[in-house]
Copies of this chain bind each other. A is one copy, B any other.
């Protein structure tokens, strides 16, 4: 595997693999310092190129951030698929596993998760974004449509409820509004308890 010299003085006029280098640097900045730190110029500095070099690979800052979001979605999808590959007995367990994966991703990479929902930073009309974002929702829908279903509400309502609950809990935790905790009655982690509320609410079989 050919390595591209990282220092400007060690390489020629052209970088060789700048696009990838920019994405790597940008993701690192995102993880370590948050969205605001991912400026075009800071990313260029990290990659040791001129401040306007990124323009050759990304139309603007939004395009760069959109690519980070797409990459994040794809990683999340991968995580979900990895877990779902191990077949589980009940639908209830599958939904619990899905929630666990998303929660783990969000708490491991809080800034990446936040970026996914920053409409002001992302080109939501981008095909890549819509596809990868839709795929996550699709995975959950796929899980929830299997087996018996409540006849009291449509599948989409169940999926929207599940997604809203999980996403809402994560958002509140990442914002600092909520803190980790346990159910005072059962002692189980709060996130497990609220997923239980959801499962009971949609009437998921055991």
Residues of A within 8 A of B (CB): 34-36, 117, 119-120, 124, 133, 151-158, 160-161, 163-169, 171-172, 174-178, 181, 183-186, 190, 193-194, 196-203
Shortest beta-carbon distance from A85 to chain B in Å: 26
Complex Cα distance, B178 from A133, in Å, reads 12
Contacts A117-B177, A161-B197, A200-B201 hold; do A185 and B36 have CB atoms under 8 A apart? no
Beyond A124-B175, A153-B196, 16 additional contacts (C-beta under 8 Å) are A152-B186, A154-B193, A156-B181, A157-B184, A157-B185, A157-B193, A158-B197, A160-B178, A163-B168, A164-B164, A164-B166, A164-B169, A168-B168, A171-B171, A196-B201, A200-B200
In the assembled complex, 5 residue pairs joining A and B whose CB atoms fall closer than 8 Å, in A order, are A153-B186, A161-B197, A161-B198, A163-B172, A167-B168
Taking a contact as CB atoms under 8 Å apart, the answer to whether B175 and A164 are in contact is: no
Chain B CB count within 10 A is highest, among A158, A168, A186, A200, for A168
Measured CB to CB, the nearest residue on chain B to A184 is B154
